[in-house]
Structure 1
Amino acid sequence: MTNPMHRRLTEALAAGGDLLLTDLRCPAALLTEGAPAGAPLDGDGTAAVELLLRDRRIAAIAAPGGLATEAPRLSLGGRHVWPMLVDAHTHLDKGHVMGRAPASGGTHPGAREATTRDRIAHWRHDDLIHRMDFGLSCAEAHGVAAIRTHLDSHEGQGETVWGAFAEIRETWKGRIALQASALVPFDAWGTDYAVRLADIVAGHGGLLGGVTRASGGTHGSLDDIDGLLDRVFTLAKERDLDLDLHVDEAAEADALPHVARATLRHGYEGRVTCGHCCSLARLPEAEMDATIALVKEAGLSLITLPTVNMYLQDRVPGRTPRWRGVMPIHELRAAGVRVAVAGDNCRDPFYAYGDHDMLDTWREAVRICHLDHPFGDSAGLAGTAPAAICGFGAGSLGAGRRADFMVLEAWSLDQLIARPQSDRLLVREGQVLDIRPPSYETLRIARGETVPELA
């Protein structure tokens, strides 16, 4: 460990007992109670604070000099300290199949076809376990403490993928909190399988979900969408389950108003999350404003996936993309709609890149969506906002919470954005985590692959 501050903090935490961390900064949006009284705030909404650690928890947060204690002190030299973050929308079952899955061409239809072929050929219990575990190991090494994953739950596969998820959730208990939502083409909710799937999900404490397109089709108009929505809402109400849907992941699609009206029709305000909603940004201003007002009335929570949607949307061979594929975050937040940023796919046909790193996802979201000048409360989009949507306890620093946080080599948010923070120091339950992202070799070994010897 070459960083002197990292060494001093590691030694101080290992010694046990109370510890007062001074001279640190954290965005007020990532503090459970906001900036404490008297804490100086800079123009980007970052507060100067100090933390008292006791019994693996944060005993108190205060303005500099605000805590009267005899505890040993350690200055962090003005560095940023962030909570562990939350990924409210990913796909652990799809991940890390690059090099195995057929080529997709980087398009949405190509990704759907390639994933289907990979799923049929390979998605067995052990394969799912290996890849989910790899993805979670990546997330842990980057300071992600809670994840909601969508699980492909096609007929004949639902029991397998949900069984694997249940096993991996138990294995990772205490390290990463996990939730799951069923993912099927929306016409599946009109089949006899719908009841069986709802029971599988309920048995695992999950959420009902789906993608607002028909099997084998693209996002767009579904003639029977209102009837299908009524069916899935009824199944959810009978089992007291929340919903998390993939909605309008295309340049032109119109399912979001139907989802909002179904939410109001069934009295499910505050219990429905919609991911993607790409086409919302391309509506004429008046129509967009009306749709946003309806979303607000229905109490929908929306999650944008900026890196993946920039990768997939408006991709045409030989042509530069003309739009970004992200929802209108500024307008939604101004209207009072709860919005979060999430990572989505990782090294699969829907997104060839990524590493389950929510800090990196947030950094990219800032640049893609212009969440800066000033940053304001945008840091909450990767912490407090997704935690509130999912009901996770992670995503913020607060008195009484576990001492789970990241110490970053950044003294301002522009510095945090400028570098990938690959030297971040992770602390969980008051102890330094000495971990690194897993080697890709572990995936190769799990698949029984060999690498030819170099001549």
Structure 2
Amino acid sequence: MTQPPITLPASGAFTLANLRLHRSHLDKTNGFAFDSEGFALAEVSISAGAITAIDPATDTANMPDRIDCRGAIAFPAFVDCHTHIDKGHIWARKPNPDGSFPGALTAVGEDREANWSAHDVERRMEFSLQCAYAHGTKALRTHLDSVPPQEDISWPVFETIRERWKGRIELQAACLFGIDQAQDEAWFNRLADTVARHRGVLGAVTYMVPDLDALLDRMFTKAIALGLDLDFHADETDDVNAVSLDRIADAALRHGYEGKILVGHCCSLARQPDDKVKATLDKVARAGLSVVSLPMCNMYLQDRRADATTPRWRGVTLLHEMADRGINTCVASDNTRDPFYAYGDLDVLEVYRESTRILHFDHPVGAWPATVAANPARAMGLADAGILKPGASADLILFRGRSLTELLSRPESRRTLIRAGKLIDATVPDYQDLDDLMEP
């Protein structure tokens, strides 16, 4: 029998009762009876849009202010710390010709040069955020392609979009360019000033250029001078000689950097000898780096062979080994419906579902649910996101699944979204909304 949707009172205090909350999503865990997967029955009291209490479950009978959630799992609103909403949804007009990484680079470069006006970028970014919001995302970081002249187009658009979405999705942006472009110090300084002016994050794609250490020094020095956090794409390859994650950790330690550093991909680490892996991860832990894996995009691109043979590795980095060392680990959406990934919808539940299967976030479940909530919030420097605690905004997602296998076996398209203690009726936009941008 299909259960009717949960309804909330229009005003006043109320309690969501008979909920399942995960240990990794709670600020305090004393008194809860957690099962083998880390879930406990609980109740969440809400007033004036904020959580006032989180307690172990009690009997809901004859308590009119309590809303029976029927044992459903609830997550904090999602935090998506690595996306590319400036690229999103261009597949219809510019697909990847062969599904390869070089094919993606070429296709995006051609489309950017031909089509990325302020109007085009704004429309597609708006569409992307509507998708993310409808799936339950509260905070999101996007990378913005910042190669000339795109930086002068996309950053003002982002500023407009961020203001428009204020109160719905907290937005951050990181600039994106190839690290070798920082050899042009005058251009790099202008870009860094643009990023600082828009309260952004200084980011780049790192690869093994001969002067990598000097270029990283340039980025760290500028980040320290301007008070900026750092975000790198690193080692998105199967080449065992790609060790820029190690070099980034070296630079952080060399500069005594105290800001936040998020490093994405780190695919080649999984191909390297064990002694090199251990030395690199020990250094990453000492440097306080956060790492985000992008499993769906990396499985799509990595080990794709021209002879159409079956891929032989997963393309993801070593999150278990990182977590064992206390490194802050996350998973995120990355690209959506563009030449780097033909699929995706900025649905973080899909990311977590596929991560569980690809990266074995189960048996035991451990603290892996935090990779889409508290951990990315920490990486982004967000205090009021990714965790359920008294005093925080009542931003939750209620699912129909009551266990991990129920939660991850269906798309959960009927999830209940609560923001500031109120139900939101968010609907994903129709693909037809972008048809006029996709015409040849």
- Pick the TM interval, shorter chain: over 0.9
3-state DSSP of counterpart to 1:13? coil
Which SS does the other structure have where 1:87 is aligned? Answer: strand
Match of 1:202 in 2: 196
The number of residue pairs the alignment matches comes to 434
Aligned counterparts of 2:302 and 2:385: Cα–Cα separation in 1: 31
**Amino acid across the alignment from 1:349:** P
Q: Relative to structure 2, which stretch is displaced further, 166-175 or 265-274? A: 265-274
**2:14 counterpart of 1:23:** no
Query: For 1:168 and 1:283, how far apart are their aligned partners in 2?
Result: 41
How far apart in 1 are the matches of 2:176 and 2:22?
34
Query: Which of 335, 357, 368 lines up with 1:345 in the alignment?
Result: 335
* In structure 2, C-alpha distance between the alignment counterparts of 1:179 and 1:71, rounded to whole Å: 41
Contact kept, 8 Å, 2:173 with 2:200, in 1: the verdict is yes
* 1:417 lines up with 2:413 in the alignment: no
In structure 1, give the amino acid aligned to 2:33: P
Normalised by the size of structure 1, how large is the TM-score?
0.92
Q: CA deviation at 1:66?
A: 9.8
Contact 1:187/1:228 (<8 A) preserved: yes
User: 2:114 and 2:381 mapped to 1: Cα distance?
Assistant: 35
Q: How far apart in 2 are the matches of 1:343 and 1:148? A: 10
1:53 is paired with a residue whose SS is strand
Q: How far apart, in 2, do the equivalents of 1:118 and 1:339 lie? A: 33
5+ unaligned residues in a row in structure 2: which ranges?
none
Residue 189 to residue 434, structure 1, CA distance change in 2 (3 Å): same
Post-superposition CA distance 1:14-72 (Å, at most 9, x none): 2x1111111110111112x142x3211000111211011111111110112399x9871
Residue number among 9, 23, 26 corresponding to 1:13 in the alignment:
9
Q: Which moved more, 1:420-429 or 1:377-386?
A: 420-429
Query: 2:323 and 2:367 mapped to 1: Cα distance?
Result: 11
What is the root-mean-square deviation in Å for CA atoms of aligned residues? 1.7
Counterparts of 1:350 and 1:251, CA distance in 2: 16
Question: What residue is the counterpart of 2:357 in the other structure?
Answer: 367
Query: Does residue 1:149 correspond to 2:142, yes or no?
Result: yes
Q: Structure 1: any 5+ residue segments left out of the alignment?
A: 214-220, 451-455
Equivalent of 2:43 in 43, 50, 71: 50
Q: Give the aligned partner of residue 218 of structure 1.
A: none
Shift in CA distance, 274/345, structure 1 to aligned 2, threshold 3 Å: same
Say if 2:229 and 2:259, in contact at 8 Å, map to a contact too: no
Which secondary structure does the structure 1 equivalent of 2:122 belong to?
A: helix
Partner of 2:52: 59
Secondary structure of the 2:73 match is strand
- Verify the 8 A CA contact 2:95 2:338 in the aligned structure 1: no
Q: Distance in 1 between matches of 2:439 and 2:115?
A: 14
- Secondary structure of residue in 2 paired with 1:77: coil
In the alignment, is residue 323 of structure 1 matched against residue 318 of structure 2?
no
Which residue does 1:132 correspond to in 2? 125
Partner of 2:206: 212
Which range moved further: 174-183 or 21-30?
Answer: 21-30
Q: Give CA-to-partner distance per residue, 1:179-226, whole Å, 9 cap, x none.
A: 01110000111102001000000000111110013xxxxxxx210001
State which drifts further: 435-444 or 102-111: 102-111
The one of 174, 177, 180 equivalent to 1:187 is 180
The separation in 2 between residues aligned to 1:242 and 1:403, in whole angstroms, is 28
Shift of the alpha carbon at 1:104? 3.3
The equivalent residue for 2:396 is 405
The alignment's TM-score, normalised by the length of structure 2, stands at 0.96
Match of 1:149, SS?
A: strand
The 2-side partners of 1:82 and 1:372 are apart by: 17
Within 1, Cα distance between the matches of 2:64 and 2:187? Answer: 60
Counterpart CA distance in 2 for 1:187 and 1:360 is: 34
> Equivalent residue for 1:117?
110
CA 5–50 in structure 1, closer or farther in 2 if over 3 Å, else same = farther
Shift of 1:102: 4.5
- The residue correspondences of 1:250-289 to structure 2 (distance < 5 A) are 250-252=237-239, 253-269=242-258, 271-289=260-278
| Distance in 1 of aligned mates of 2:97 and 2:358 | 24
CA contact (8 A) 1:22 1:50 kept: yes
Does the 8 Å CA contact 2:336/2:344 hold for their aligned counterparts?
A: yes
Q: Deviations over 1:299-348 (max 9, x none)?
A: 11111000000000000131100100101111010011111111100000
Look up the SS of the partner of 2:277 in the other structure.
helix
How far apart, CA to CA, are the structure 2 residues paired with 1:228 and 1:119? 25
Cα drift, residue 103 of structure 1: 3.2
Per the alignment, residue 217 of structure 1 pairs with none
